Every structure is written in structure tokens, then in C-alpha cells.
Amino acid sequence: MANNIELIGIQSNKVNKSESEIIKRIIDARAQSQSKDAIIENQMIGVKYSINEYLNGPLDTEVIEAGEFLNDILKVYQIRKNKFAKYIGLSEPNLHALLKGRRKVNNEIAKKLELIFKIGAQAWLYIETKNDIKKFNSKNSITEKDYSIKELIS
């Protein structure tokens, strides 16, 4: 079966509509046969991939708040926000502000998220730092024309 899947992937530009429907049904059937834990694990792989892509992506893209990623995780695990806020020691309004990007993930929250969801504290803090840089760049026009080592040492 793996060889067939690999072959399909290689020839994906040659697959017609009926073949696409067959492939979709196979994928859907496979997804439905997975356990709840496997589904959650796969969805978390997707969230972790999204975080990684965001962190490694360029600075000139849209800002994605750390809270958006956290909200995705809460949906994956079907955790109620009020329960989660209480569990990590935040008030509900503060959690809501974090999820909407009006409050930042700090060191303490980042460590708690790491322990709960196994996504490193550094990743959460890197998201916040990257967003700070993106927001600064969008509001400021400091360039190499303004500052350069050549100008400084000449």
C-alpha cells in the first residue's frame, strides 16, 4: 500500500477527478478508523508544524499571535477556556486577552504551556519576539541607509 501511496503522490498532477474522489474516500475512511488519541496526536502535529512554519517564515508576513496557536490547541483537546484559565492560574479575562493577542505569553505561562502541551517554552517566547519585531518593522522605516557599519567606521 505504501508504494501505491508514494506513486500517487509522484503522479498527483496526472490524477483525474474520479481518481481524486477515490483517494479522498480512502483518506476519509482511514481517518474515521483512527482512535481519538491518534486523531488528537495528528492534529497536534499540525499545530506544531504551523508554529514551526511561522517561526521559520519571513518577517514580512501577517502576524499570528501566540494566543491563536494556543486557541487551536485548546480546540484540539476540547478544553474549555474557563477550565484552562483556572488550571494555569489566570483569570478568564486575562486568558481571553492572551488568546486575542492583547496580552503576551510570559516566561511563566510559556513554561506551563511547555509542561502541558510539550511545546517548548522557547517557541512560545520566540513567537512573541518575532511578533514584536514584525510590529516594529511595520511601524518604523529604519533601514541600512540610516545605519550601517561602513558609515560608523568611516
Which residue, chain included where needed, has cell 478544553? 79
pLDDT of residue 14: 62
pLDDT of residue 76: 96
Q: What is the CATH number of domain 30-139?
A: 1.10.260.40
**CA 53 centroid distance within chain:** 7
Set of cell numbers at residue 106: 510570559
What single-letter amino acid sits at 122? Q
Identify the residue with better confidence: 151 or 134.
Answer: 134
* Total-model pTM: 0.77
* Burial of residue 14, with CB atoms counted within 10 A of its CB: 0-12 exposed, 13-18 middle, 19 or more buried: exposed
Q: What is the pLDDT of residues 52-93, one digit of tens each?
A: 999 999 999 999 999 999 999 999 999 999 999 999 999 999
**Nearest Cα to Cα of residue 135 among 59, 71, 73:** 59
- Measured between alpha carbons, how far is residue 140 from residues 51, 53, 135, 143 in Å? 26, 25, 9, 9
**Nearest Cα to Cα of residue 59 among 122, 143, 130, 127:** 130
Q: What is the pLDDT of residues 99-147, one digit of tens each?
A: 999 999 999 999 999 999 999 999 999 999 999 999 998 888 887 778 8
Is residue 31 within 8 A of residue 39, CB to CB? The reply is: yes
Distance CA 61, CA 86 (A): 34
Highest mean pLDDT among 1-5, 38-42, 78-82: 78-82
pLDDT at 15 over 80: no
Set of cell numbers at residue 127: 513567537
